[in-house]
Chain A
Amino acid sequence: MTAPLLEVEDLRVDLRTPRGTAHVVNGLSYTVGPGETVAVVGESGSGKSVSVLALLGLLPERTATVTGRALLQGEDLLTMAPERLRRVRGPGVGMVFQDPMTSLNPVLTVGRQLTEGLRAHGPVSKAAARARAVELLGEVGLPDPGRAVDRYPHELSGGMRQRVVIAMALANSPALLVADEATTALDVTVQAQIIDLVERLQAEQGTGVIWITHDLGVVAGIADRVLVMYGGRCVEDGTVDDVLERPVHPYTRGLLGALPDLATADDADLATIPGTPPAPTDLPAGCVFWPRCPVRGDARCETEQPPLAVVGAGGGELPHRAATWCAEGEAS
């Protein structure tokens, strides 16, 4: 296996809130190789977004405490000097944000916001930057990019804005692309277009991708590996086949709707997981999923945190791991 592009080790993020310290990310470790796509799935509040914002130092300094290591091409992002980190943002890591309605500056034209990113990382003439901006807008499938470049965000639809946000992240041909619910707001055809574009970039430039989503259909389509997050922890990870076809953790299985519905056998409706994710200020002592778990097949579930251990016959370079006490007995 080639050297990983990104190597995250024991990432922890605590946020100070009026209700106490929120343990939002609790010991997350994963790697992303060049050209690889890692999908991070989980409910809202599972720490997906915070864990990637922490990598680029985009959390509010006053309230966030980030520990661990995050090596991007061997350099630790978490201890990097601010100016060096600024240079990494863009060409090193490109980030696509969730909400297209608020992630663009309302008072600057689309072109201005695109060229700004280009010009922040090297001497590019205005004309060249503009030409590149038009080209990028075309690549993300924006109709009439030559005119769109002079428009303000409020003149574009939500889907068009999202594509502008994606174009901004791609502007500096990042080594790693982080897409936080990047295509959630888009309709299926545009979504497919964006995914094609990202896959082409991966093939051409070896871009590594972290794709945060809760759309398991997209995950199946693009991911090499899947990381399931719950309560700020990775509860299961492995190849896309292992995790989606042979899920081990009760949470993953609930997420996939794969759990046998014991209570109401005749109810063929959408399977749901009752309850809500734990408050990050007040995490359970044992397995984070215990309060909502329909299995609870082990005495240690309530009191002892299960480690992320290799399960199944996987192993090798991409082991299938899950953090549960109930792996052997309950795996179907």
Chain B
Amino acid sequence: MSVLVFSLIHMVRGDPVRLALGTRYSQETYDALRERSGLDLPLVQQYLTWAGRAVTGDLGVSFRSGDTVTSLIGERLPATLTLALAALVVALVIALPLGMLSALHPRSLIDRVATVVSQIGISVPDFWLSIMLILLFAGVLGWLPSGGYVPLTEDPLGWLQRLVLPAIAVGVVSGSVITRFVRSSMLEALGQDHVRTAQAKGVPTRQVLTWHVLRNALLPLVTVTGVQLAYLLSGVVVVEIVFSWPGLGQLAYQAVRDRDFPVLQGSVLLFALVFLVINLLVDLLYSRIDPRIARR
């Protein structure tokens, strides 16, 4: 994994040292900086040095700013986490009611509308949606700021105002995907024999839906929500740039532009780690939901 990250990044054309120095520099400065950054060493050796430090939590120093990569990531992580979680909330708020209603009334008007809407939601590129949202809510209506970020602790209202649009832009796509899954897994759960058994016991409908339908539909849902959360965390890059949201996506983007290898490697590695952690969490959650997995 880390080998892949490393080699892919180093295949990018462009010399980070040259970019860092600007247009006027002497050959000596160039060589000195190259040597200090370790870029004059063979690639394999560069990798081993980097990987060796990475396992101890030292991801190196930015070519550009001279800050440690861990501190740069640490600064940006809360913003991205906030945005991803807010987007997940948006996604679930859309997906759960819409998917459930569709499953309870298949082929009804609401089901058809939900299908069309979620199809559109899946197809729309998030950057385009971001721009449209900015045009409408920040431009025409002027209700919300077009971007930026203020910490929650300084200005809660401003924080919320700036969070809404990017969260919607990111959340709509995931919400559409999850809607589909809610519908299909609910339909599957509804058709199971034990639902009929529960009805035959005279259990009230609401209870049948919660404990016998939803409870069983949850399993596939947790999986897809986990995948979507991982996507949200890493997939916010474009939206962060559009909304000038100071998150990891923006950091990674700047790192690519500046050929700031350590920062780029660090962020990509972090994204990979996030995927792993989320998958692990999903697996752990599984055993909480499904006793057939837990007690084996």
Judge whether A163 is part of the interface by a CB distance below 8 angstroms. Answer: no
Asked if A154 and B291 make an inter-chain contact with CB atoms under 8 angstroms apart, the answer reads: yes
* Contact stretch, chosen from A17-25, A83-91, A226-234, A235-243: A83-91
* Contact stretch, chosen from B19-27, B190-198, B262-270: B190-198
Query: Secondary structure of the A side of the interface?
Result: loop
Number of chain A residues close to chain B: CB under 8 A: 35
* Contact stretch, chosen from B113-121, B151-159, B171-179, B199-207: B199-207
Judge whether B13 is part of the interface by a CB distance below 8 angstroms. Answer: no
Contact of B199 among A58, A87, A168 (CB under 8 A): A58
Judge whether A56 is part of the interface by a CB distance below 8 angstroms. Answer: yes
Judge whether A102 is part of the interface by a CB distance below 8 angstroms. Answer: yes
Q: How far is the CA of A95 from the CA of B193 in the complex (A)?
A: 13
Q: How far is the CA of A107 from the CA of B215 in the complex (A)?
A: 8
Minimal beta-carbon separation of A86 from chain B (angstroms): 5
Asked if B207 and A116 make an inter-chain contact with CB atoms under 8 angstroms apart, the answer reads: yes
Known: A102-B192, A103-B193. A95 touches B200 (CB 8 A): yes
Asked if B291 and A106 make an inter-chain contact with CB atoms under 8 angstroms apart, the answer reads: yes
A154 nearest in chain B by CB position: B292
Judge whether B212 is part of the interface by a CB distance below 8 angstroms. Answer: yes
Asked if A116 and B211 make an inter-chain contact with CB atoms under 8 angstroms apart, the answer reads: yes
Judge whether A104 is part of the interface by a CB distance below 8 angstroms. Answer: yes
Q: List, in ascending order, chain A residues with CB within 8 A of B295's CB.
A: 152, 155
Judge whether A121 is part of the interface by a CB distance below 8 angstroms. Answer: yes
Contact of A120 among B201, B212, B216 (CB under 8 A): B201
Minimal beta-carbon separation of A72 from chain B (angstroms): 13
B194 nearest in chain A by CB position: A105
Chain B 182-226 interface 0/1 with A at a Cβ cutoff of 8 Å (1 = within): 000000000011101111111111010001100110000000000
Asked if A56 and B292 make an inter-chain contact with CB atoms under 8 angstroms apart, the answer reads: no
Judge whether B41 is part of the interface by a CB distance below 8 angstroms. Answer: no
Contact of A168 among B197, B211, B215 (CB under 8 A): B197
Asked if A106 and B198 make an inter-chain contact with CB atoms under 8 angstroms apart, the answer reads: no
Asked if A102 and B193 make an inter-chain contact with CB atoms under 8 angstroms apart, the answer reads: yes
Q: How far is the CA of A154 from the CA of B290 in the complex (A)?
A: 11
Judge whether B3 is part of the interface by a CB distance below 8 angstroms. Answer: no
Asked if A97 and B202 make an inter-chain contact with CB atoms under 8 angstroms apart, the answer reads: no
Q: List, in ascending order, chain A residues with CB within 8 A of B216's CB.
A: 105-107
Contact of A104 among B197, B199, B207, B290 (CB under 8 A): B197
Minimal beta-carbon separation of B138 from chain A (angstroms): 46
Pairs A–B under 8 Å by Cβ, sample size 21: A58-B200, A86-B202, A88-B202, A89-B201, A89-B202, A102-B192, A102-B194, A104-B197, A105-B211, A105-B212, A105-B215, A106-B292, A107-B289, A107-B292, A116-B203, A116-B207, A117-B201, A117-B202, A154-B292, A155-B295, A165-B197
A residues with CB within 8 A of B: 53, 56, 58, 82, 86-91, 94-95, 97, 99, 102-109, 113, 116-117, 120-121, 152, 154-155, 165, 168-169, 171-172
B residues with CB within 8 A of A: 192-194, 196-205, 207, 211-212, 215-216, 289-292, 295
- Please name 6 further chain A to chain B contacts, defined as beta carbons within 8 Å, in addition to the given A106-B292, A155-B295, sorted by A numbering: A90-B202, A104-B194, A152-B295, A165-B197, A171-B201, A172-B202
